Structure formats: C-alpha cells, structure tokens
C-alpha cells in the first residue's frame, strides 16, 4: 500500500455524536471532552453546531461551550453552521474554521435541512461572504456523496456538479461524506479519481460512517490516492437523524490505532484518546461501539496460561 506519512484527523464526536443523544449532555461535560481531546493532541475538533435549538436541542449551549473550552495551541476549533445566521454566531464565538454541509441528493437535503440543494447553495453564498469578511476559512461538506438512503446511487455527474458550484463560490476545502455507510473502497477510489483531477488545489476530507463496517477500508482507499484529512468520532459516536439505518462515524481511537500500526503519524497520543473514550462512556452511560476500548491495542500481552509456560521450548 502507498500511504501518506501523516494524516490529519478532525474529531466530530462532540458535534456529530452528541447531537443525537436523547438526554441533554451537560455543558461542563462537553467542555471537558473537548479539552481532553485537545490534550490528546487532536489537531482539529468540530466542537459544536450553531443551529436552531428547536432543530438540535442537544447543542443549544454552542456559544457557552465555545467560550469555555481551553484553546490549545496546535488545535483548530470548528463549528458547523446551516446558514448565514449560524455563521455570524460562529464568528462571534471565535471559531477557527466554519464547517457547512449540504446533501448531494435532493431528498436527503430536504429531509435534513428542509431545503432543496439549490436553496442550500444559495445559503452557502451568504455563509461564504460572512466568513470572508471575518477572515475565517470555510470547509464545505457534501452529505450522501456515495449514496442516498432514499434515492440510492448518486451519479458522479451529480456530485461533480455540487462540487463545481461550491468551488465556483470560493470553496477550497471539500468534505465527501458517506452519510449512511453505503460506500465501498472501489467506489471511493473511482469517485476520487474522477473528482481530484478536475478540481486541483482542493483540500479533500473523507467523512465516513461505519454502518456496514466499511469505514476504515474506505479511508485506506482514500489515503492511497493522497487524501490526508479524515473525520472521526470518539468511541464511534454519531449517526444522522435523517438517514434511516445510519450508525456512528468511524471510531477515532480505532482509526488512530490502525494508522499508527501501519506507521502513519497523526500526532495524537493513543492512550489519552482511549482514556477520553472511557470518559465519554461514563458521560453517556452506555458502552461505545469502538473496538480498541474493549480489546486494547494490538501490543497488549496476556499471561501465559497455567501449564503452558513449562512446556515452552527454552531459548538458546
């Protein structure tokens, strides 16, 4: 495999993960998790979303969370926004980056944000203008890039059109999201081989959900083509309330363990990341879907069973 020497991980659990939890997570706990992630060396964190509390009540404390986190040098703090009002609130809160999202498919975009794709693109222009005036960079995410739970396959031409619209309005960072875990590595390769030559200079990010246990294989396919920015969620939290059957994002500590085992650097302390996942388990009150938190890292060793040690050949 031809892999990059380093990958930049963006942690999205405190937004994508926390937003669908049924019980409100205390602001103190949200702040604590963000600080623990930064202390572990996570370089990018999507902290929260500046969205209507009626739409996402779990994130109604977005401004307070942003105000109370400790800003670690070397970590970039972002927030997701749906429109120009959210962008203005995010700028006022001092975010380092604004994240936006729209869907490649019409039906999912209507279900997710109650707008057509064309209407979302119009909103994006307002977000871009506010961000440009404030000097804040924008990363635009495209949900259902690899398939829609309502429409099925999303044609490459359709996805290319959405990317073109975003790039033409000034986007320089684009995230492709496998919102419901429908992608496979060959499809990821085909999609990136189609888009990357057509949009040189774009910083690409892959956002995966592990709905069908394909997230890490899909990420490896993207890495082989030179994508070095990956979204992940602590403990594998997450899911989309408007995507039937969707489960959590790729698990941050599982992905970091995989990358480190293959010699790919992340700058993240895996032991601290695992400890953070355990803290999140305590906060939400249930076991997380990640595997490393259960099995331990691959260098973990166990005592030799009774009766076996005496039969082992003696070393020369």
Q: Report the Cα–Cα distance between both ends of the chain, in Å, rounded.
A: 37
Alpha-carbon gap, residue 63 to 298, rounded angstroms = 40
Question: What is the rounded distance in angstroms from the CA atom of residue 301 to the CA atom of residue 263?
Answer: 20
3-class secondary-structure state, position 170: coil
Distance CA 254, CA 162 (A): 31
240 is catalytic: yes
Cα separation, 113 vs 243, whole angstroms: 12
CA distance 171 to 153: 25
Residue pair 203/171 in contact (Cβ under 8 Å)? The answer is no
Neighbours of 258 (CB within 10 A): 17
3-class state of residue 39 by DSSP? helix
249 phi/psi in degrees, rounded to 5: -70, 170
Query: Helix 27-39 and helix 270-284: axis angle, to 10°?
Result: 170
Q: Among residues 148, 240, 251, 258, which one is catalytic? A: 240
Rounded Cα gap, residues 267 and 206, in angstroms: 19
Q: Which are the catalytic amino acids?
A: 240
């Amino acid at each position: 495999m031809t892999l990059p020497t380093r990958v930049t991980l963006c942690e999205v659990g405190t937004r994508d993960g926390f937003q669908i939890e049924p019980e409100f997570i205390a602001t103190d706990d949200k702040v604590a998790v963000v600080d623990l992630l930064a202390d572990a060396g996570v370089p990018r964190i999507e902290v929260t979303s500046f969205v209507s509390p009626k739409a996402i009540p779990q994130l109604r404390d977005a401004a307070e969370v942003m105000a109370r986190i400790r800003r670690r040098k070397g970590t970039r703090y972002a927030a997701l926004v749906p429109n120009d009002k959210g962008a203005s609130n995010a700028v006022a809160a001092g975010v380092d980056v604004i994240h936006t999202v729209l869907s490649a498919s019409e039906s999912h975009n209507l279900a997710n944000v109650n707008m057509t794709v064309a209407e979302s693109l119009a909103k994006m222009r307002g977000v871009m203008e506010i961000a440009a005036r404030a000097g804040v960079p924008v990363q635009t995410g495209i949900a259902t890039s690899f398939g829609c739970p309502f429409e099925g396959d999303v044609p490459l031409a359709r996805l290319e059109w959405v990317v073109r619209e975003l790039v033409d309005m000034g986007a320089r960072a684009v995230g492709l999201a496998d919102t419901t875990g429908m992608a496979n590595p060959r499809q990821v390769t085909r999609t990136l081989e189609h888009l990357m030559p057509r949009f040189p200079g774009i910083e690409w990010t892959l956002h995966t959900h592990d709905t069908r246990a394909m997230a890490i294989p899909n990420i490896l396919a993207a890495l082989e083509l030179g994508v070095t920015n990956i979204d992940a969620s602590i403990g594998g939290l997450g899911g989309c309330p408007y995507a039937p059957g969707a489960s959590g994002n790729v698990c941050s500590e599982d992905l970091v363990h995989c990358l480190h085992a293959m010699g790919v650097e992340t700058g993240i302390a895996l032991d601290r990341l695992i400890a953070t996942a355990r803290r999140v388990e305590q906060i939400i009150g249930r076991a997380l879907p990640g595997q490393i938190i259960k099995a331990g890292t691959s260098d973990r060793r166990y005592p030799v069973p009774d009766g076996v040690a005496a039969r082992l050949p003696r070393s020369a």
